[in-house]
Amino acid sequence: MSSRPKFFVAREQINNNKVTLTGSDVSHIRTVLRLKAGDSIQVISDSDKWLTVRLVEVKTKEVKGEVVASVTINVESPLEQVRCDFKKVGGIGSAFYYPFND
């Protein structure tokens, strides 16, 4: 992965390798990052791919770009689920519990 700015977009904003960003992302791209046409960003939607997008138009209300590269990412957690039960330590009114595995 590179250090390009990253944005989450709805799937509907990606159509035929064209991406349209609207709303607060436009302000962030124009004002904060000061990106221009020709600069690149990374975009992800609800899929398993990071898209590298080259900006084509940077307007006041929308930013348009074209997908120039795509990288599949692993969206599953590498952590294994472990069942853990708790036993009460002490008597009535005890506030301490400790985990144990069978």
pLDDT at 49: 84
The CATH code that applies to domain 6-72 is 2.40.240.20
Q: Are 38 and 54 in contact (CB under 8 A)?
A: yes
Which among 24, 25, 99 is positioned nearest to 65, based on CA atoms? Answer: 25
Q: What pLDDT, on a 0 to 100 scale, did the predictor assign at position 38?
A: 94
How confident is the model over 86-99, as pLDDT tens digits?
655 555 665 655 56
| Residue 95 pLDDT | 62
Pairing mode, if any, of strands 62-72 and 85-89? Answer: unpaired
Are 87 and 100 in contact, with CB atoms under 8 Å apart? yes
Q: Give the number of other Cβ atoms within 10 Å of residue 5's Cβ.
A: 15
What is the domain partition of the chain in residue ranges?
A: 6-72
For all residues of the chain together, what is the average pLDDT? 82
